[in-house]
Amino acid sequence: MREFQVLKSDITKTRIAEVDINQSGLEKDEILVQIESFSFTANNISYGVAGDSLGYWQFFPAKDNQNGEWGCIPMWGFAKVVKSNHDEIKESERLFGYFPPSDFLKIQPAKISSQNFFDSTPHRKDLPVIYNNYLRLEGEADYDASNDSIRALLFPLHLTAFCLCDALLYENYYDCEQIVILSASSKTAIGLAQGLSEADTAPKVFGFTSKKNKEFVESLNCYDEILAYEEIDNLDFSKNSVIVDMAGNPAIMEKLSTFLQDNLKKFLTVGATHWQKITSTDDVITNVQDSRFEFFFAPGHAQKRSGEWGAEKFNKIANEFLKKRSEQSKSWMNINEIRDFEGLSEIYNDMLTGDVEPKLGLIVNLNK
């Protein structure tokens, strides 16, 4: 079995490891899945940056790794059950969910329904439940395999966008007059801006992006105004503002908070597309002794809302949001399929340095 691994202490370093998973030895109620394809976005880089602080390295411990130096960045994608030692899970059925960048994975299904189940593998039991959920595609009404790539790319990103929209609405947008989104070309930011543009009560939405991406972001027509980072002085600092930061750039955070002063009502840090500026996501907010600054953890919000609304209502509302965003993305996203782990290695550094065009959606297809 092959596995794409990242050095935890320096995510610029990777290797493709040949490891043994003992495919023939399944425990009772265990299944073996063969990973077919998964998406690769800046969101996965954030998983690596937050691997220690938010536990992402714990999901799929790297094999052939005695010193624990290497980790597997989790990916969203599809897999097929190739061996089953569980009476309720049959071989050949396909799943959507959270997987390592590997050829195979062992899972212990629990809480099984016709639509989904959860992995009860001991080392995952205390991790956020949303990441342990696997959808059974045969039990999904109106499943369309032609949408697999869009789903893998946008499900995790736009679920975060949905949670942000809901959290901001719940707080009545902190009585702000404008919402400022950093790294406006990221797919999560686009989903957030699209959701806010549909909300009758939402304030104006401003997006900051690089000069090279400004024209593309403007073409989406989901922001009220787009500014390049060099145009930061053009923002009206006299207005009460909420900042949603997908970039994780402390220099921009400090500049905006200094200019806004008391007009800054909330600063939500979500991702880390400018990961080079920080050693972990904790560094973005550690030194700010101010309750206005918060790291927004979407799985936590999703779990909170599921508890308040019930899982059925949460899934219904979230899925309606996700469906709208997916349909909108078809007009601008270009899907590019990568053949194997070598191809992932080649594009990996481009994602690290932000050299992947925002309109490009990368899918690693291991079945090509």
325 assigned to some structural domain: no
137 and 169 share one domain: no
148 assigned to some structural domain: no
Structural domain range at position 251 = 157-300
195 and 167 share one domain: yes
306 assigned to some structural domain: no
- Residue 189 phi, psi (nearest 5): -60, -40
132 and 61 share one domain: yes
- Residue 166 CB coordination number (10 Å): 20
Structure tokens at 72: 């597997």
Which pLDDT does position 285 carry in this prediction?
44
This prediction has a pTM of 0.88
Provide the angle, in degrees to the nearest 10, between the axes of the packed helices 311-329 and 187-198: 110
CATH of the domain at 219: 3.40.50.720
353 assigned to some structural domain: yes
Residue 186 CA, chain-centre distance (Å), reads: 11
Distance CA 268, CA 148 (A): 30
Distance CA 180, CA 366 (A): 39
133 and 175 share one domain: no
**Helix, coil or strand: residue 209:** strand
11 assigned to some structural domain: yes
pLDDT tens, the chain, 368 aa long? 999 999 999 999 999 999 877 666 798 999 999 999 999 998 899 899 888 888 899 999 998 888 899 999 999 999 999 999 999 999 999 999 999 999 999 999 999 999 999 999 999 988 888 899 999 999 998 899 999 999 999 998 999 999 999 999 999 999 999 999 999 999 999 999 999 999 999 999 999 999 999 999 999 999 999 999 999 999 999 999 999 998 777 788 889 989 999 999 999 998 654 434 444 444 444 445 578 888 898 888 998 999 999 988 998 999 899 999 999 998 899 999 998 999 999 999 999 888 899 999 999 999 86
How many domains is the chain built from? Answer: 2
324 assigned to some structural domain: no
Provide the angle, in degrees to the nearest 10, between the axes of the packed helices 187-198 and 148-170: 50
Cβ-based neighbours of 48, under 8 Å, separated by 6 or more? 6, 11, 56, 71, 73, 275
CATH of the domain at 78: 3.90.180.10
Distance CA 366, CA 249 (A): 34
| Start-to-end C-alpha separation, the chain | 17
85 and 198 share one domain: no
